């Protein structure tokens, strides 16, 4: 399948299906010398895996990462890092009735229209499980960001209209949706601090354009605001512009309506993103649909699904953001002749 790779210098390629033997990722272009072990990746995988709580599916996904290549003596070698996650809880029988029918809100019909047939087990490649590989890759990107003093963090912000901070009310809402055999939308917020100014590439690979592509590549993402985002459309220039001033000898902004990016380049302020997720499409409530034979049917979806996606997807947002930033930071090293010259002079 085309379209499984992302990034230019720090490039990730995910592979595998939800109910195949395994899935994973190949990370190419990772600089040598980053201390890396499977233990560095586990905490990120644990944030993505279902935790048995009210916000996630009851599926049991162990999500243990095996590093197959690209690491020697506890450090990255600069060669492709291949990581594998074996699928264990593969109850394909749960998905039998969607083999021939199309789930409203899911990718089934589109896959059949494109390829003529599909791996229907758990949604195959369109499953949220594909994001396990992205999280493993993002955990490596996060290590490099931390070496640079850049902090990238995403959290669940809202479930429906309920702030996630009010965890009891948010959980009640999810519980109520489950009881009604339904699901609910959600919002994730991501903040990046410590980002230097001037990172990004005009014009087609603007930092915000790359972030938007990364976010919209995550299943169920339906909207993104950077800074004030769509709210800027009803603001005045005098309100929306962030005034500059000098703080400790450096250019800084008094407000951050721009969300840390101007002209596709970081401006040194925090990068602020709000990512909007639709409700999980697979709901237990009976729905009207059609089957492969072109008949209208009453569809009842079996299987275990996330009642809200943002809870598990926050770490996916964080990791994809980290991948974009590392790629942009590495590309940025080529922007000034004097730096290219001084880099090579040190080796001559």
Ligand X SMILES: Cc1cc2nc3c(=O)[nH]c(=O)nc-3n(C[C@H](O)[C@H](O)[C@H](O)COP(=O)(O)O)c2cc1C
Choices 8-16, 170-178, 236-244, 308-316; region in contact with ligand X by CB under 6 A: 308-316
CA–CA distances in Å: residue 85 to residues 68, 141, 163, 218: 11, 18, 33, 19
Give the interface segment with ligand X, choosing from 14-22, 155-163, 188-196, 306-314 (CB under 6 A): 306-314
Q: Which of 306, 308, 331, 332 binds ligand X (CB under 6 A)?
A: 306
Residue closer to ligand X (CB basis): 150 or 319:
319
**Distance in Å, CB of 43 to ligand X, minimum:** 17
- Closest residue by beta carbon to ligand X: 128
143 within 8 A of 326, measured Cβ to Cβ: no
Question: How many residues bind to ligand X according to rule CB under 6 A?
Answer: 20
Query: How far is it, in rounded angstroms, from Cα 11 to Cα 9?
Result: 6
Residue in the block written with tokens 């009310």 = 169
The interface mask with ligand X, positions 114-153, x = CB under 6 A, is ------------xxx--x----------------------
Q: State which residue, 152 or 313, has the beta carbon closest to ligand X.
A: 313
282 contact partners, CB below 8 Å, separation of at least 6: 103, 105, 106, 183, 301, 303, 305
- Nearest approach in angstroms of CB 283 to ligand X is 8
Whole-number minimum distance, CB 290 to ligand X, in Å?
17
How does DSSP assign 127-158, residue by residue?
A: SGGGHHHHHHHHHHHHHHHHHTT-EEEEEEEE
User: How many Å from the N-terminal Cα to the C-terminal Cα in the chain?
Assistant: 44
- 316 scored as a contact of ligand X (CB under 6 A): yes
Among 81, 218, 328, 329, binds ligand X (CB under 6 A): 218
- 316, 326, 283: which is closest to 188 by C-alpha? 316
Q: What is the DSSP letter of 125?
A: G
Q: Among residues 80 and 105, whose Cβ is nearest to ligand X? A: 105
Q: Which residues pair with 85 in a beta bridge?
A: 23, 65
Exactly one of 150, 152, 220, 322 binds ligand X (CB under 6 A); that residue is 220
What are residue 182's phi and psi, to 5 degrees?
A: -125, 180
Q: In terms of CB distance, is 309 or 328 closer to ligand X?
A: 309
Q: Which residue has the tokens 């299906």?
A: 17
Residues 91-110 contacting ligand X, CB under 6 A: 106-107
CB atoms within 10 A of CB 108: 23
Binding positions for ligand X, 259-278, rule CB under 6 A? 278
Residues 42-81 that bind ligand X (CB under 6 A): 57
Per CB under 6 A, the list member of 266, 282, 287, 332 interacting with ligand X is 282
Judged by beta carbon, residue 18 or residue 76, the one nearer ligand X is 18
Q: How far is the CB of 57 from ligand X (least distance, A)?
A: 5
User: Which segment (9-17, 62-70, 152-160, 217-225) binds ligand X by CB under 6 A?
Assistant: 217-225
Name the residue nearer to ligand X (CB basis): 133 or 260.
133
Q: Which of 45, 164, 309, 322 binds ligand X (CB under 6 A)?
A: 309
Edge-to-edge strand ranges of the sheet holding 186-193? 162-163, 151-159, 186-193, 271-277, 221-226
Please give the Cα distance from 195 to 150 (Å, whole number).
6
Report helix angle 131-147 to 38-48, nearest 10.
Answer: 130
- Residues forming the site for ligand X (CB under 6 A): 57, 106-107, 126-128, 131, 218-220, 278, 280-282, 305-306, 309, 312-313, 316
């Amino acid at each position: 399948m085309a379209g499984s790779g992302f990034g230019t210098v720090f490039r990730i390629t995910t592979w595998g299906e939800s109910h195949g033997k395994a899935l994973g990722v190949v990370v190419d272009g990772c600089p040598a010398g980053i201390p890396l072990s499977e233990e560095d990746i586990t905490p990120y995988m644990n944030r993505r895996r279902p935790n048995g709580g009210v916000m996630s599916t009851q599926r049991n996904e162990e999500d243990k990462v095996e590093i197959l290549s690209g690491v020697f003596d506890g450090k990255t070698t600069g060669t492709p890092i291949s990581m594998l996650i074996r699928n264990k809880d593969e109850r394909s029988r749960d998905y039998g009735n969607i083999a021939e029918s199309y789930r409203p809100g899911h990718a089934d019909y589109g896959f059949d229209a494109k390829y003529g047939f599909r791996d229907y087990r758990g949604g195959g490649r369109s499953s949220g499980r594909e994001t396990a590989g992205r999280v493993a890759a993002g955990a490596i990107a996060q290590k490099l960001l931390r070496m640079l003093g850049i902090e990238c963090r995403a959290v669940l912000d809202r479930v429906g209209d309920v702030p996630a901070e009010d965890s009891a009310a948010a959980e009640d809402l999810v519980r109520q949706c489950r009881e009604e055999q339904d699901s609910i939308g959600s919002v994730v917020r991501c903040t990046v601090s410590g980002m230097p100014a001037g990172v990004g590439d005009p014009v087609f690979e603007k930092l915000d354009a790359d972030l938007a592509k990364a976010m919209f590549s995550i299943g169920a993402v339906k909207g993104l605001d950077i800074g004030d985002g769509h709210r800027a459309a009803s603001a005045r220039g005098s309100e929306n512009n962030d005034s500059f001033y000098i703080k400790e000898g450096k250019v800084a902004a008094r407000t951050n309506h721009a969300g840390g990016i101007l002209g596709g380049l970081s401006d040194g302020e925090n990068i602020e993103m709000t990512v909007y997720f639709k409700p999980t499409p697979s709901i237990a409530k009976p729905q009207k649909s059609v089957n492969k034979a072109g008949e209208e049917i009453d569809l009842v979806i079996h299987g275990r699904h996330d009642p809200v996606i943002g809870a598990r997807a926050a770490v996916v947002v964080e990791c994809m953001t980290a991948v974009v930033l590392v790629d942009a930071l590495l590309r940025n090293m080529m922007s000034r002749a004097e730096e290219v010259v001084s880099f090579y002079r040190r080796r001559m």
